[in-house]
């Protein structure tokens, strides 16, 4: 009788515990984090379909040069590339003379002062110099951008999840707020000075649409400069700035995989050859 009572008590305890767990799970599902506009309307990046995607991806040099042209003519006015040197552009297919000419198009301030004007003296960049920042300091950058600080783009493709596709989606994702969003969340109307973009974390971004219309850039190779094309090209370029050795990494990875496969096959064949007689002798014994 005592065992039966103990069993019933234990069973009741287990049932109470199970009910508590289920009730807690249901309560958490209902009363957990509130449903927000960001949860419902934030979108995952769309695929840009870049040639560098995938484990065997390679850069398209022509696309990288077009992307650099978009950065130079559209993005460089606000965003820096402080971890990239002008001489690195040789990897895009530019000659030494072309790299030198590109570097000289940017001026860099020096510690000295122009004795005639009293302004900081400037000099032409060398190929060994890194891309200069468009603003002298953070205060000036915020003052020129409605108190928003334009981020450096050198590592942006690695700093954001699915970076290449994120950049492409963000550049092509500007739109009016959906009527459904305003219906469900009437208090989250995009504030003045911000722009609705479903690919940005909180849906509203301070940066105006940088690529606003077709033919904003006249490509040197004659490619039609649509908004979509320019967004893909600059995304490819920023993928390169973040991972300039991507092709080497892919090639090394392939060589390592081939080596490991060959090593595994040889190791297995050696195992079979060395232990075949031992196994036979053990069975016979």
Q: Does the annotation flag 207 for ligand binding?
A: yes
How far apart are alpha carbons 76 and 105 in whole angstroms?
12
Q: Which of the four pLDDT bands, split at 50, 70 and 90, describes residue 8?
A: low
Helix/strand number for the chain, H first, E second:
10, 4
Q: Does the annotation flag 79 for ligand binding?
A: yes
| Domain enclosing residue 47, as ranges | 35-81+155-270
Q: Does the annotation flag 250 for ligand binding?
A: no
Beta bridge partners of 108: 123
The answer as to whether 20 is a domain residue is no
pLDDT value of position 119? 65
Q: Does the annotation flag 75 for ligand binding?
A: yes
pLDDT value of position 33? 59
Mean pLDDT of 113-119: 63
Q: Is the separation of the CB atoms in 5 and 13 below 8 Å?
A: no
The answer as to whether 30 is a domain residue is no
Number of domains in the chain: 1
Q: Is the separation of the CB atoms in 42 and 201 below 8 Å?
A: yes
User: What backbone torsions phi and psi does residue 156 show, to the nearest 5 degrees?
Assistant: -60, -35
Residue 32 has pLDDT above 70, yes or no: no
Q: What share of the chain is helix, strand, coil (3-state, %, to 5)?
A: 50, 5, 40
The answer as to whether 97 is a domain residue is no
How far apart are alpha carbons 18 and 24 in whole angstroms?
10
The lowest-confidence range among 5-14, 30-39, 91-100 is 5-14
How far apart are alpha carbons 162 and 159 in whole angstroms?
9
Residue 224 has pLDDT above 80, yes or no: yes
Q: Which of the four pLDDT bands, split at 50, 70 and 90, describes residue 122?
A: confident
Dihedral of CA atoms 203, 209, 211, 214 in degrees, nearest 10, equals 100
The answer as to whether 11 is a domain residue is no
The answer as to whether 29 is a domain residue is no
Residue 250 has pLDDT above 60, yes or no: yes
pLDDT value of position 251? 86
Q: What is the pLDDT of residues 162-218, one digit of tens each?
A: 999 999 999 999 999 999 999 999 888 999 999 999 999 999 999 999 999 999 999
The answer as to whether 241 is a domain residue is yes
How far apart are alpha carbons 217 and 25 in whole angstroms?
55
The answer as to whether 57 is a domain residue is yes
Residue 113 has pLDDT above 80, yes or no: no
- Whichever domain contains 188, its CATH number is 1.10.760.10
Q: Is the separation of the CB atoms in 152 and 81 below 8 Å?
A: yes
Q: What is the pLDDT of residues 41-80, one digit of tens each?
A: 999 999 999 999 988 899 999 999 999 999 999 999 999 9
The answer as to whether 140 is a domain residue is no
Average pLDDT, the chain: 86
Assign 112 to helix, strand or coil: strand
Q: Which of the four pLDDT bands, split at 50, 70 and 90, describes residue 221?
A: very high
């Amino acid at each position: 009788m005592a065992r039966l009572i103990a069993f019933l008590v234990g069973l009741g305890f287990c049932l109470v515990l199970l009910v508590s767990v289920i009730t807690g799970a249901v309560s958490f599902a209902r009363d957990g984090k509130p449903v927000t506009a960001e949860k419902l309307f934030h979108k995952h990046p769309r695929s840009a379909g870049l040639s560098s995607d995938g484990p065997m991806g390679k850069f398209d040099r022509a696309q990288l040069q077009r992307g650099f042209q978009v950065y130079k003519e559209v993005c460089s006015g606000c965003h820096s590339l402080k971890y990239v040197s002008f001489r690195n552009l040789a990897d895009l297919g530019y000659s030494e003379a072309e790299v030198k000419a590109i570097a000289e198009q940017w001026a860099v301030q020096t510690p000295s002062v122009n004795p005639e004007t009293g302004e900081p003296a400037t000099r032409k960049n060398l190929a060994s110099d890194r891309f200069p920042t468009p603003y002298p300091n953070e205060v000036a950058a915020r003052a020129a951008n409605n108190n928003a600080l334009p981020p450096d783009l050198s590592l942006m493709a690695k700093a954001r999840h699915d970076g290449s596709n994120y950049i492409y989606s963000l550049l092509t994702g500007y739109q009016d707020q959906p009527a459904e969003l305003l219906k469900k969340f009437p208090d989250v109307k995009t504030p003045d000075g911000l722009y609705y973009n479903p690919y940005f974390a909180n849906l509203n971004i301070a940066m105006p649409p940088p690529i606003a219309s077709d033919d904003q850039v006249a490509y040197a190779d004659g490619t039609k400069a649509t908004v979509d094309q320019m967004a893909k090209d600059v995304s490819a370029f920023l993928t390169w700035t973040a991972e300039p050795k991507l092709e080497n990494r892919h090639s090394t990875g392939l060589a390592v995989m081939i080596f490991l496969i060959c090593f595994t096959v040889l190791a297995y064949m050696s195992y079979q050859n060395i232990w075949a007689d031992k196994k036979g002798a053990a069975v016979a014994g």
